[in-house]
Amino acid sequence: MYRKNCHTCHRDSFSSAEYGKWLCPTCGEDLTAQKALDALTIERINTPQRNIKKSNIYYYTKKRN
């Protein structure tokens, strides 16, 4: 479930589709250009995760004669 907030009437709009034409049901404002939020967590969705660089661990063994 997706959610967008209308900047005109300040009401929430919910949809099961993330993409496509999206109009505010209260005032009719076009919300298509806005980023969709997760309806439950109110966080942006489909944002790329930060790349976490894994540390390189090198193990050296002492060479025996």
Q: What is the pLDDT of residues 14-41, one digit of tens each?
A: 988 888 899 999 999 999 998 888 888 8
DSSP 8-state code for residue 18: S
Please state, for a pLDDT cut of 70, what percent of the chain lies above it: 69
Average pLDDT, the chain: 78
What token pair was written down for 10?
């300040």
Confidence (pTM): 0.61
CB 30 within 8 A of CB 22: yes
C-alpha distance from residue 33 to each of 6, 7, 18 (Å)? 11, 12, 11
